[in-house]
Amino acid sequence: MTADDLAEVVALEARVQAFPWSIGNFRDALAAGNDCRVGREDGKLVAFVVTMPAVDEVHLLVIAVTPERQRAGLASRLLNLVCAEARAAGMARMLLEVRPSNAAALAFYNRAGFAEIGRRRGYYPAPVAMGGREDAIVMARTL
């Protein structure tokens, strides 16, 4: 991912997230040196992933696939790639947070070998009908 990709990345993020990252969030991730990847098919952005290394573990910050290409294995390929590279760099595990209401993501992460290790209360913004905040399930996978 480069700065030239950000308009497409932000557009994809807005299509798949109720509370999407802003272009500033992605710029900050690039500037911080986080591992930011895009996946393209025929030149068109179809997926992206952002991870952040932290001493001996890596944090999955965001992963997304365009709705038209979901359930085609793209997220699994991106996740396997960043996990393999983190393992090769000496990282022991990957962490992530996911909304309890995101059943599809929870199923995906469980299939990928992640397990719940905790909760962050009121971590995510949420619709007022949900009380304005939603917990995060913290998950981890040994690399």
Two tokens at 23? 């272009």
Domains of the chain, earliest start first:
3-142 (3.40.630.30)
- 97 is a catalytic site residue: yes
**Cα→Cα distances 59→38, 41, 53, 81, 119, Å:** 17, 26, 6, 14, 15
pLDDT in tens, the chain (143 residues): 999 999 999 999 999 998 999 999 999 999 999 999 999 999 999 999 999 999 999 999 999 999 999 999 999 999 999 999 999 999 999 999 999 999 999 999 999 999 999 999 999 988 877 788 999 999 999 99
Q: pLDDT per residue over 15-38, tens digit each?
A: 999 899 999 999 999 999 999 999
Catalytic pick from 109, 116, 123, 124? 109
Tell me which residue has tokens 């690039």.
Answer: 30
Q: Where are the alpha helices (DSSP H) in the chain?
A: 6-16, 23-31, 74-88, 103-111
End-to-end C-alpha distance for the chain, whole angstroms = 23
Query: Is the full-model pTM beyond 0.75?
Result: yes
Catalytic pick from 57, 85, 97, 116? 97
- 134 is a catalytic site residue: no
